[in-house]
C-alpha cells in the first residue's frame, strides 16, 4: 500500500524568506500524481501545486515550486518570498493510477510565518 510521510510537524520562517517542506512517499507504481494542498484556518483545502510522475521537470506556480526526486521518492515544496498569508497547514498527497482515485495524505506540516 502507498504511504505518504511528512516528517516536519511544524516549520517557521521569517516573512520574505524561503522555506522548504518535506514529503516522502512509498509506492511500487511507476506513474502517479503528487499534490501539495494548503489548509488555512478556514479549513478550506486549496490546491497549491501538482506534479505528474512522468514529467521530469519540476512544477512551478508563482512563488511555489517543487523538488521532485522520483528515484528517492521525495517531493518537497519550496515557498519563496514567504508572506503572512502563507501561514497554514500544508498537506502532501499521492494519487496512483491503479487506485480508486483515492488521495493518500500525509499528516501535514504547520507553517508559521514570523513578521
Partner 1 sequence: NAGVTQTPKFQVLKTGQSMTLQCAQDMNHEYMSWYRQDPGMGLRLIHYSVGAGITDQGEVPNGYNVSRSTTEDFPLRLLSAAPSQTSVYFCASSLLAGGRETQYFGPGTRLLVL
- Summarize as ranges the residues that interact with partner 1 (CB under 8 A): 4, 33, 35, 37, 42-47, 50, 52, 91, 93, 95, 100-108
In angstroms, give the least distance from the CB of 72 to partner 1: 21
In angstroms, give the least distance from the CB of 94 to partner 1: 10
Cell of 43: 479549513
Q: What angle do CA 11, 47, 102 make, to 5 degrees?
A: 100
SS3 of 16, please? Answer: coil
Contact between 75 and 23 under an 8 Å Cβ cutoff? The reply is: yes
Name the residue nearer to partner 1 (CB basis): 56 or 100. 100
Name the residue nearer to partner 1 (CB basis): 77 or 82. 77
Name the residue nearer to partner 1 (CB basis): 35 or 113. 35
Residue 100 CB-density burial (10 A; 0-12 exposed, 13-18 middle, 19+ buried):
exposed
Taking the CA atoms of the chain, what radius of gyration do you get in angstroms?
14
In angstroms, give the least distance from the CB of 41 to partner 1: 12
Name the residue nearer to partner 1 (CB basis): 10 or 17. 10
Amino acid at each position: 500500500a502507498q504511504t505518504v510521510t511528512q516528517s516536519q510537524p511544524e516549520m517557521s520562517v521569517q516573512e520574505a524568506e524561503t522555506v522548504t517542506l518535506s514529503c516522502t512517499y512509498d509506492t511500487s507504481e511507476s506513474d502517479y500524481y503528487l499534490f501539495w494542498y494548503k489548509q488555512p484556518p478556514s479549513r478550506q483545502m486549496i490546491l497549491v501545486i501538482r506534479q505528474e510522475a512522468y514529467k521530469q521537470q519540476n512544477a512551478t506556480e508563482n512563488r511555489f515550486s517543487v523538488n521532485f526526486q522520483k528515484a528517492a521518492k521525495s517531493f518537497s515544496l519550496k515557498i519563496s518570498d514567504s508572506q503572512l498569508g502563507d501561514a497554514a497547514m500544508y498537506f502532501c498527497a499521492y494519487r496512483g493510477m491503479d487506485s480508486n482515485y483515492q488521495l493518500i495524505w500525509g499528516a501535514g506540516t504547520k507553517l508559521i510565518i514570523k513578521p
